[in-house]
């Protein structure tokens, strides 16, 4: 979680570094900095806070040089302040770092015993001081390679050197790093998004790789110090990817884009001429698959939980869901007849990527569902299904979550069809219903005006509870997560049927309780649970498409959703919960696109 940019050029680079850091702020925004090199002098500028603050500093005291590195930070070791901001420099070397050095305490102790002094609380400064020692009798590449051997943990590094004023060295283990190519200019960056404004030609470093950039050349070395070649990829063009347009922020734009992104995703995979879902290069014979394991983190994990219901309903497959950070440390009994599905918005989620690596080592079949087709998880899986949601800038995921669910829904009914476990007519009907979804999502967005009024109830509340059953239980979890992420209010998502087994003790007069109750087989059971809450003073927001069956005098607010095929209800229920979290945060004057303590791409464990 942190962003790196490095530029080797024939002209001043500080302006382009700043522009790239602005694009990387979704990865971290508690401090920022850069270092440029001119006449064998490292010129370091950094600050706490956002990139715009760094830009003001550079306006007063420019950083000149045709070679430079930059960084936006999401704090791990050390509080967010100027001293802990990157780069970390000595007189001879300057380093920016993503990741965590797990043995930094031991290395720091060893360096201190040799008389070395530390300025910061960070693990990164250990790398800088180790490199400074190695550079006393070694050239940069050898010094970097010998330093990396001493490091345990994950990292992506960008490094410049006082006495070698034409090179940047990049290195990767665990955290992503890309290289970009242009005329008289080459780049390193945490991801392709930061590089797209400067080039569409990139390569990716794999674990253990090191690269050396000059303005005219790039060299790559693997973990065995052997010089290697890298494939150059051409990035697809995205138009207006960073424009808010008439929206206040990216999140509101992304919420309201969902009918369009859903339509794009559906059109990408459904053959209109014959109502058929097209998935190519399936890594296993569907009839030999006996089990599906769905793996993700955070919002992506919630999409897995929803999909578990679909796979169980439409197929005879055994289905498991797993949080990636737990999966990778369990004693998993891997199976050749199992398909392991990895869900990630960025495709760089550290725990999900590590879980995928574990599956690859055990030679089982893997599939990734991602929004970034050039990402590590997409490249490493046997099969990739892009969600085609377009760039999502807001840290709290909205349209990517909907896209993840869409892919998982289509995959579940496609597998059912291939395995002859669903009637062909029913399969075609489900596809037909799916094509109606974008228009129904558009109708759901019209609930915003009422949601704005509802949001006021949350301002003086010490917490809230989100309840649902069946498909709606994971949606309740996701609604609670969105409220926590955006407004910093405590929220709990819970299966409605479990209320009397403990959580009912939290209900008190005036507590906001959101009940997600579409017209499905759980509907009347959920209403009974809702009455238990009402009897204890809970203030109900009911989200349903069966309002005619509700005795509403004790329900404070009802959001009426359009009617839809029951298995598609999670898509519609999601919209008002996103709007609720957004408007509560707006009323609290929270930073909508960049919530505190969070970053978009979680590349540390």
- pLDDT (mean) for 280-292: 89
75 and 132, same domain (yes or no): yes
- Do both 273 and 418 map to the same domain? yes
Domain boundary residue among 234, 263, 295?
A: 234
Local confidence band at 274 (pLDDT 50, 70, 90 cut-offs):
confident
Q: Show which of 412, 435, 458 is a domain's final residue.
A: 435
Per-residue pLDDT at 603 exceeds 60: no
Q: What is the pLDDT of residue 273?
A: 78
pLDDT at 398 over 50: yes
Quick one: pLDDT at residue 404?
97
Interacting residues of 413 by C-beta distance below 8 A, sequence separation 6+: 277, 310, 314, 422, 427, 430, 431
pLDDT in the model for residue 280: 82
Q: Please give the structure tokens belonging to residue 537.
A: 């003073």
Q: How much is the pLDDT for 237?
A: 65
Is 602 within a domain?
Answer: no
Q: Is 213 helix (H, G, I), strand (E, B) or coil?
A: strand
Q: Quick one: pLDDT at residue 239?
A: 47
Can you give the residue range of the structural domain that contains 277?
A: 244-435
- The reply to whether 401 falls in a domain is yes
Query: With left for phi above 0 and alpha for psi between -120 and 50, is residue 240 left, alpha or beta?
Result: left
Same domain flag for 451 and 555? yes
Using the 3D structure, point to which of 400, 435, 470 is the last residue of a domain: 435
| pLDDT score at 605 | 58
In 164-306 the beta strands, taken as DSSP E runs, fall at 164-173, 178-182, 185-189, 201-204, 210-213, 218-221, 227-228, 233-234, 270-271, 276-277, 291-296
Residue 472 sits in the same domain as residue 413: no
129 shares a domain with 268: no
Q: Is the pLDDT of residue 549 over 70?
A: no
- Is pLDDT of 27 > 50? yes
Same domain, 143 and 268: no
What's the average model confidence in pLDDT over 356-367? 95
For residues 86 and 116, membership in a common domain is answered with yes
- Is the predicted pLDDT of residue 240 greater than 50, yes or no? no
At 26, which CATH number? 3.60.20.10
If asked whether residues 146 and 270 sit together in one domain, one would say: no
Residues 410 and 541 in one domain: no
| Greatest mean pLDDT among 15-29, 68-82, 452-466 | 452-466
One domain, residues 322 and 416: yes
Question: Is pLDDT above 80 for 160?
Answer: yes
Does residue 521 lie within any of the structural domains? yes
Round the average pLDDT of the chain to a whole number and report it.
Answer: 91
Assigned domain for 598 exists:
no
The percent of residues in the chain predicted with pLDDT above 90, rounded, is: 70
Same domain, 322 and 216: no
Could you give the percent of the chain with pLDDT greater than 70? 97
Question: Does the residue 239 lie in any domain?
Answer: no
Question: pTM value?
Answer: 0.84
Q: How far is CA 91 from CA 146, 226, 390, in A?
A: 20, 30, 43
How far is 472 from 114, CA to CA, in rounded Å?
A: 59
CATH number at residue 424: 3.40.50.10490
pLDDT of residue 262: 95
Q: Is residue 440 one of the residues assigned to a domain?
A: no
Q: What is the pLDDT of residue 241?
A: 54
Cα separation, 598 vs 233, whole angstroms = 30
Domain count within the chain: 3
Helix/strand/coil (H/E/C) assignment for every residue in 402-455:
HHHHHHHHHHHHHHHHHCCCCCHHHHHHHHHHHHCHHHHHHHHHHHHHHHHHHH
pLDDT attached to residue 503: 84
Is residue 605 domain-resident?
no
Query: Collapsing DSSP states into helix, strand and coil, what is residue 61?
Result: coil
Which residues form the catalytic set? 2, 600
Query: Residue 264: inside a domain, yes or no?
Result: yes
Query: Do 420 and 399 share a structural domain?
Result: yes
């Amino acid at each position: 979680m942190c962003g790196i940019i490095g530029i080797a050029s024939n002209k001043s680079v500080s302006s382009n570094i700043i522009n790239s850091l602005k694009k990387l702020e979704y990865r971290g925004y508690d401090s920022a900095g850069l270092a440029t090199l001119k006449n064998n002098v490292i010129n370091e500028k950094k600050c706490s806070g956002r990139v715009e603050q760094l830009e003001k500093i550079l306006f007063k005291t420019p950083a000149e040089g045709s070679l430079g590195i930059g960084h936006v930070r999401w704090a791990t070791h050390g509080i967010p302040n100027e001293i802990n901001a990157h780069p970390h420099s000595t007189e001879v070397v300057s380093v920016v770092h993503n990741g965590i050095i797990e043995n930094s305490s031991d290395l720091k102790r060893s360096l201190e015993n040799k008389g070395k002094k530390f300025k910061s609380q960070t693990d990164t400064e250990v790398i800088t001081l180790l490199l400074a020692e190695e550079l006393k009798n070694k050239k940069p590449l050898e010094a970097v390679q010998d330093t990396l051997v001493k490091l345990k943990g994950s990292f992506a590094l960008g490094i410049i050197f006082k006495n070698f004023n034409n090179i940047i060295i990049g290195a990767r283990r665990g955290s992503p790093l890309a290289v970009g190519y242009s005329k008289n200019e080459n780049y390193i960056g945490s991801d392709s998004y930061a590089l797209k404004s400067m080039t569409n030609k990139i390569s990716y470093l794999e674990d253990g790789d090191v690269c050396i950039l000059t303005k005219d050349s790039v060299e790559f070395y693997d973990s065995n110090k052997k010089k290697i070649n890298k494939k150059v990829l051409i990035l697809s063009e995205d138009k207006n990817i960073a424009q808010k347009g008439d929206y206040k922020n990216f999140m509101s734009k992304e919420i309201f884009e969902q009918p369009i992104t859903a339509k794009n995703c559906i059109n990408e995979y459904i053959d209109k001429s014959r109502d058929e879902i097209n998935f190519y290069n399936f890594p296993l014979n569907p009839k030999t698959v006996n089990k599906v394991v769905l793996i993700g983190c955070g919002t992506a994990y919630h999409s897995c939980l929803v999909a578990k219901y679909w796979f169980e309903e439409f197929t005879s497959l055994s289905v498991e869901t797993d949080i990636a950070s737990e999966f990778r440390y369990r004693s998993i009994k891997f199976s050749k007849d199992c398909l392991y599905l990895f869900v990630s918005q960025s495709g760089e989620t550290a725990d999900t990527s590590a879980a995928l690596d574990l599956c690859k080592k055990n030679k089982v079949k893997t599939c990734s569902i991602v929004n970034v087709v050039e990402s590590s998880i997409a490249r490493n899986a046997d099969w990739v299904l892009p969600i085609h949601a377009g760039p999502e800038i807001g840290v709290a995921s909205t349209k990517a979550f909907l896209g993840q669910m869409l892919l998982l829904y289509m995959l579940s009914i496609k597998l059912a069809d291939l395995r002859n476990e669903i009637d062909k007519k029913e399969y075609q009907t489900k596809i037909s219903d799916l094509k109606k979804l974008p228009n129904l999502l558009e109708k759901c967005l019209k609930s915003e005006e009422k949601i704005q009024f509802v949001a006021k109830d949350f301002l003086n509340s010490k917490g809230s509870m989100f309840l649902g059953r069946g498909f709606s239980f994971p949606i309740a979890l996701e609604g609670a997560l969105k409220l926590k992420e955006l407004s910093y209010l405590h929220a709990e998502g819970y299966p409605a049927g479990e209320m009397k087994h403990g959580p009912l003790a939290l209900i008190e007069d005036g507590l906001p309780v959101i009940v997600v109750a579409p017209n499905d087989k759980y509907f009347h059971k959920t209403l009974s649970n809702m009455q238990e809450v009402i009897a204890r003073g809970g203030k109900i927001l009911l989200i349903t498409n069966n309002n005619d069956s509700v005795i509403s005098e004790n329900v404070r607010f009802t959001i009426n959703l359009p009617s839809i095929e029951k298995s598609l209800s999670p898509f519609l229920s999601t919209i008002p919960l996103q709007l609720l979290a957004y408007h509560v945060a707006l009323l609290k004057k929270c930073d909508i696109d960049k919530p505190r303590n969070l970053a978009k791409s979680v590349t540390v464990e």
